[in-house]
Structure 1
């Protein structure tokens, strides 16, 4: 299950959900029948499901300033392009091999060449193992549709 959640200083709420079905389920007629998955249901990637939920949030005029996601979403250029086209700010996780630097460097190289003063420690809230803190640094991106 993929879920769209909303968080603010006043609290958190689940806004939307989409059922993720792996291709093994979609391609197995017996499993589809057992689970009562209709013939009109097709495979959609998790980033495609996220986009559908974000489209509904935008259409409903949900007031949000940015979207986030893990590497599954950050590595998807179609989702990132759609977010940029919508002029929505986003902060997805990316792998250290992801090319994002001004000269095509990977994220690991970009992070290594930034000065110590470029980084800020920010909290992502409390998780199951306590406070989740991460180091963040703005980096200019080569694609003019994206700011940094």
Structure 2
């Protein structure tokens, strides 16, 4: 097995463990493996009540870990999404530097997962799910207006 393939498998395993609080404490479904048009690497999608959390690894030229949150309507349709770092800062949980994305090597890639999970846990403690969904919608609208 190649090193890249090993890292992809390790990423998913570590992401499932780091974000397990979503399933264990917040009523999210078990994660689904994803491959996105926007991502050149593996990802996990956690579906919860009114909220989807996507954890992705872009393993291209400038590798990075990206976590995004999407507001989901009662009909199951995603209305808007926002990346965790911007939403975290906008909610007053801390600076965007608390949610770094650059992942130039295996060690930093796996470290980013813990940092993103910690930031998401802090954000979710700060904003209950309905407020978080509304914050995503407002934040995304501001982003598109620029």
Which structure carries more helix by proportion? 2
TM-score class, shorter: under 0.3
- Larger radius of gyration between Structure 1 and Structure 2: 1
